[in-house]
Amino acid sequence: MDHLRTVPPRGLLLTRVRIVLNGIELIPETSLAVRPGEVVTIMGPSGSGKSSLLAYLCGTLDRAFQATGEIWVNGIDVTRLPIEERQIGILFQDDLLFPHMTVGENLLFAIPRAVRSRRERRELMRQALAEADLAGYEERDPATLSGGQRARVALMRTLLARPRAVLLDEPFSKLDEDLQTTIRQFVFGHVHAQELPTLLVTHAAEDAQAAGGPVLRVGRPAAGPPVEPFAAARSALSRIRPAAKPRHP
Amino acid sequence: MLRLFPVVTLAVFLAPVAAGMVATALPAFGYLPALGGHQVGGAPWQRLLATPGFWTSVHLTVQSGLLATLLALAIVIGFCSAMHNTRLFRRAQVILSPLLATPHVAVAIGLAFLIAPAGWASRLVSPGLTGWQRPPDLAIVHDAGGLSFVLGLLLKEVPYLMFMTLSALNQIRSGETLVAARSLGYPPAAAWLKTVLPQIYPQIRLPVYAVLAFSMSVVDVAVVLAPTNPPPLSTLVFRMFTDRDLAVVFPACAGACLQLLLVVAMLGVWRAGELGFPMLTRRWLTAGGTHKTGAGLRAMWTAVMATMVALSILGTLSLAVWSFTQTWFYPRALPAAWTLSHWERHAADLAGPGGTTLATGLAAALLAMVLSLGCLQNERVNGLGSAARALWLLYTPLLVPQIAFLFGAQMLLVRMGLDGTWIALIWSHLLFVFPYVFLSLADPWRSFDLRYRNSALALTGSPLRTFLRIELPLMGRPALFALAIGFAVSVGQYLPTIFAGGGRFTTLTVEAVTLSSGSDARVTGIYALVQAGLPLLAYMLAIAYPAWRYRHRKGMG
C-alpha cells in the first residue's frame, strides 16, 4: 500500500469517502483502490447508500447529502470536477440510448471532439458496432433493437468516450435472465481488455460472482448466506485502508 | 350518459367554428343576401387588395408573428438549456404563474405605460442619463416596425411556452438522459440541447403553433401596441367589420379568409422548418463534446428572462401608480401628489363591466369544467385510451384565427335569434376556455390512483357518489387550478365579447382596450389593473383554499 502514498497510482482511488444524510451515516469512511482492469463490486440492498456513493462518484449527488473524501482517477483528483470532465464512463440500469438518434449516431455522439475527421469518426463507430456483433446496424432506430443488442450498444457508447474508469450501475438487472450471462461476459471482457478500473454497484450476488473481483458490502447485510468467494471478501477488507491521503504531485 | 360528453363537447365546439368559417367565407365571395349580396364573384377581394396599406399590413402580420414566435421559443430554449440544473429553474414555475394569469391586454397596456416616451422607464433614467427635461418625440409604442408589439407578445408567450416546456420535461426522464450525455463529455447546456430538447419538442409543438397563430391574429394587443396606420391584418379586418358602411363587410370577410390562409401557410412554413432543422444540425448533433462551461451563457439567458419578468411586473405596477396619480411632472420618477379620487369616481362605473366579466368568466369556467370532467370520466369509466388525436381537435379554436370565424358565427347567432344574449357570450368564451381547462386537468386526472375509485365503488356501490365524494375532492387542487385558468382565459377575451355579445356586453377587457387609445392614463390604469387583478385573485384562491381546507391533512399536501 505504500506506493499509493508516493506515486500517483493508475486506476480509480477513493480516499476517506463518507456520506451523511440528515445526520445518518449512509457510507462510513471508506477508502478503496481499483486497479486498471479490475472490477470491484459494491453490494448492498436498496436504500443502503450504494446509489448515493455512485452519485458521489458521478458528481450528481444531491446537495441534501454531506459528502467528504476524494476521488482520484489515474492520479488526477476529480472530486470537484463536473461530470463531463471526470472522464468516468457510466453504464446505467437502463441503456439510455437517445431515442431521437440512430444507433450509429448514438455511438458518434460519444466519440470525443478531439477526433476531428469525419471519416475517422465513422470508422471508430463502425469498429465499435462490429465489436458488438452489430455490423450494419448504424442506420437502425434504437427502439427496434432487442434488449441484448441495446445493452451492447450502450457499453460501446460508454467506451467510445474514452473513459479512464467505468461505473456500472446495476446494468444487468433489467435484462432477461438468459441474457444476463452473455452481457456480463461482454461487459467484463471489454473492461478487462481495455484495462479500465471498474466499480460495479449491484444487489445481485450473481453479478459480484461473475465480476471476479473483490466485494465490498455497504449498509445492513442482505438476508441469506454470503455467496461471493471468501477470498474476495477478504481482499476487499484489506482495501478498506485507514486514512491514507495520497499526495498529488 | 357519460358517453354523450365527448359528442356534446365536439358539437359545442367544432361544429360552430366550422359553420362560422363557412359563413365568413361566403360573403368573401359576395354572397350575403341579408346585406343584398347575391352576386358571387371576386369583387370583395379586389376591394380588399385596394385597401390603402394592405400589403404593409400583410407584411407586418407575417413579420411580427414569426419574430414573436421565434424569439419566444429561443428565449425558452436558451434559458432551459443554460439554467436547467440551477435552483432558480426549479422555482421558475412559481415565479411565472402570476405572469401567466395576467391577461394579454393588461400586460400590453402596462408595457405601453412603461416604455412610452413619457413612461416610467424614461422617467427613471431622466434627466440623469438622458438629459431629457420633456418627453422625447419618439414613436416607441405603435412603432412602425412593430417591435413594441412583438415585445408585448413575448411578455405573455415566454411564460406560456416555459410552462408547457416544464410540463413536457416531467414526461421524459430528462435527469437521467442528461447524466448520460454529460458522462460522455458534454457540458450541461450542450447536453440539454442535443439530448433533451429533441425529445420534448414534439410535446410543445402544438403550443408553439398556438403561439404562432395567436401572434399573427391577435387584435387586442395589436390595438394597444402595434403600428396603427396601417395596422396588422387582423386589426385592419376588425376595423372593416366595425365600419359604419355595411358594404365593407364583404372585403372584411375576404380579409378574414386571408387571415386564415396566412396562418395556415405560416404553420406550413414552420412545419417545413421543423423537418429541415434536424437535417441541418445532424453533424453538429454528433460532433462530440467539448469541455467548455457556459458561465457567460448562463448570465445572458438569466438576464433575458429577468428582463421579461421585470417588464411585466413594472408594467403592472405602473398601471397601479397611474391610477393613484394626481399630478406627475416629467421627468420625476414618482407622482408629486397622490389621490384616491379616480378610484372613487370610477368605482360605480367599474361595477357593470366588472360584473359582466365575473359572471361570464365563472359561467364559462364552470361549464368548461363540467365538460372536461365528463370527457375525462368517460375516458376512465369506458376505458377509452387517452385520445392523442383529439389533442388536435382541442387546439383547433386556438389555431384558427378568431376573426376568421367570429363574424360568420355571429351571423348564425342572428339567424337563431341568439346574438347579444348571455348564451352567445358565454358560448363564445367557452370555445377558448375549454381547451385550457381540459389540458390543465387531463394530466393530473389521468394519473389518479384508480384503487381509490375501486375501493370507494366497493363501499358505496354508487359511481355518482364515488365521483362526488372521492374522486372530485381528491382532485380538488388541480380542479380548482383549472377553474382559475379557465376564468383567466375568459377575462382576457376581446373579440368574442364584441362579436357574440353583439355590442351589448361590456367587459373590463373591452373597456381597457377602448380606453387605451384615449389620453387618460389614470382611468386606463384603473380598468387594466382591475382586469389583471381578477385572474390573480382567482389563482390565489385556487391555491389558498385547498391549503386551508386540508390544513390538518398531511396526505393532501
Helix, strand, coil fractions of chain A, as percent rounded to 5: 35, 20, 40
pLDDT, mean over chain B: 90
Instruction: Identify the bridge partners of residue A40 per DSSP, sorted by sequence position.
Output: A199
CA within 13 Å, CB half, B389: 2
Residue B391 pLDDT > 80, yes or no? Answer: no
The x, y and z cell numbers of residue A178, run together, are: 438468459
CA within 13 Å, CB half, B293: 7
- Pick the closest to residue B62 from B146, B151, B157 (CA basis): B146
Nearest CA in chain A to B182: A84
The x, y and z cell numbers of residue B40, run together, are: 358571387
CATH superfamily of B44-339: MetI-like (1.10.3720.10)
Cβ–Cβ of B286/A87 closer than 8 Å? no
Average pLDDT over residues B343-350: 92
As a whole-number percent, the residues of chain B with pLDDT over 70 amount to: 98
The x, y and z cell numbers of residue B235, run together, are: 386589426
| Closest-CA distance of chain A to residue B83, Å | 15
Tens-digit pLDDT profile for residues A175-198: 888 888 899 999 999 999 999 999
Tens-digit pLDDT profile for residues A185-232: 999 999 999 999 999 998 888 888 888 888 988 875 444 444 333 334
B85 contacts chain A (CB < 8 A): no
Average pLDDT over residues B267-271: 97
Residue A154 pLDDT > 70, yes or no? Answer: yes
CATH 1.10.3720.10 range(s) for chain B read 1-41+341-557, 44-339
B86 contacts chain A (CB < 8 A): no
Task: Give me the DSSP letters along B300-346.
Answer: HHHHHHHHHHHHHHHHHHHHHHHHTEEE--TT-SS-SEE-SHHHHHH
The complex scores an ipTM of 0.83
A85 contacts chain B (CB < 8 A): yes
Task: Give me the DSSP letters along A117-169.
Answer: -HHHHHHHHHHHHHHTT-TT-TTS-GGGS-HHHHHHHHHHHHHHT--SEEEEE
Contacts of A64 (CB under 8 A, 6+ apart): A21, A22
Average pLDDT over residues B50-78: 96
Cβ-nearest to A84 among B176, B186, B195 = B186
The x, y and z cell numbers of residue B291, run together, are: 469541455
Tens-digit pLDDT profile for residues A7-66: 457 899 999 999 998 888 888 888 999 999 999 999 888 777 888 898 999 888 888 899
Q: Are strands A198-202 and A165-169 parallel, antiparallel or unpaired?
A: parallel
Helix, strand, coil fractions of chain B, as percent rounded to 5: 75, 0, 25
Residue B383 pLDDT > 80, yes or no? Answer: no
Nearest CA in chain A to B172: A99
Say what the pLDDT of residue A8 is. 55
Backbone phi and psi for residue A132, each to the nearest 5 degrees, phi listed first: -90, 15
Cβ–Cβ of B183/A84 closer than 8 Å? yes
Cβ–Cβ of B290/A58 closer than 8 Å? no
Say what the pLDDT of residue A238 is. 42
Gap between the Cα atoms of A243 and A7, Å rounded: 17
Average pLDDT over residues B343-354: 92
Cβ–Cβ of A84/B187 closer than 8 Å? yes
In contact, A38 and A12? CB cutoff 8 Å = no
Cβ–Cβ of A109/B288 closer than 8 Å? yes
Say what the pLDDT of residue B215 is. 97
Gap between the Cα atoms of B220 and B208, Å rounded: 20
Report B:117-176 residues touching A (Cβ under 8 A).
176
- Pick the closest to residue A211 from A38, A65, A81, A1 (CA basis): A38
pLDDT confidence bin for B249, thresholds 50/70/90: very high
For residue B46, which amino acid is it?
A: Q
Task: Identify all chain A residues contacting B186, using CB atoms and an 8 Å cutoff.
Answer: 84
Report B:278-337 residues touching A (Cβ under 8 A).
278, 282-283, 285-291, 293
Task: Identify all chain B residues contacting A161, using CB atoms and an 8 Å cutoff.
Answer: 183-185, 289
**Cα–Cα distances in Å, from B256 out to B150, B414, B440?**
22, 19, 30
Within 10 A of A95 (CB to CB), how many other CB atoms are there? Answer: 22
- Pick the closest to residue B192 from B305, B76, B80 (CA basis): B80
Average pLDDT over residues B19-33: 92
Contacts of B87 (CB under 8 A, 6+ apart): none
**Cα–Cα distances in Å, from B405 out to A1, B17, B249?**
82, 6, 13
Angle between helices B54-83 and B197-217 (to 10 degrees): 150
Within 10 A of B76 (CB to CB), how many other CB atoms are there? Answer: 24
Cβ-nearest to B185 among A58, A112, A121 = A112
A158 contacts chain B (CB < 8 A): yes
Say what the pLDDT of residue A229 is. 38
The x, y and z cell numbers of residue B181, run together, are: 450525455
- Pick the closest to residue A168 from A1, A38, A30 (CA basis): A38
Say what the pLDDT of residue B499 is. 92
Gap between the Cα atoms of A13 and A35, Å rounded: 9
Average pLDDT over residues B171-185: 90
As a whole-number percent, the residues of chain B with pLDDT over 90 amount to: 58
DSSP state of B400: S
Tens-digit pLDDT profile for residues B454-473: 888 888 888 888 888 888 88
| Closest-CA distance of chain B to residue A118, Å | 9
Range scoring the smallest mean pLDDT among A14-23, B201-210, B217-226: A14-23
Q: Which residue has the higher pLDDT, B392 or A21?
A: A21
Within 10 A of B344 (CB to CB), how many other CB atoms are there? Answer: 9
pLDDT confidence bin for A240, thresholds 50/70/90: very low
As a whole-number percent, the residues of chain A with pLDDT over 90 amount to: 52
Gap between the Cα atoms of B459 and B466, Å rounded: 9
Average pLDDT over residues A133-150: 94
Tens-digit pLDDT profile for residues B69-105: 999 999 999 999 988 888 888 888 778 888 888 999 9
Pick the CATH number of B1-41+341-557 from 3.40.50.2000, 1.10.357.10, 1.10.3720.10, 2.60.200.20: 1.10.3720.10
In contact, B479 and B354? CB cutoff 8 Å = no
CA within 13 Å, CB half, A178: 0
Say what the pLDDT of residue A3 is. 45
Say what the pLDDT of residue A247 is. 39
B202 contacts chain A (CB < 8 A): no
**Location of C-alpha cell 417591435:** B147
Burial state string for B318-343 with b = 16 or more CB within 10 A and e = fewer than 16: bbbbbbbbeebeebeeeeeeeeeebb
Average pLDDT over residues B7-33: 88
Cβ–Cβ of B180/A101 closer than 8 Å? no
DSSP state of A117: -
- Pick the closest to residue B221 from B438, B61, B37, B412 (CA basis): B61
Average pLDDT over residues A96-117: 93
Gap between the Cα atoms of B219 and B153, Å rounded: 11
Tens-digit pLDDT profile for residues B420-435: 899 999 999 999 999 9
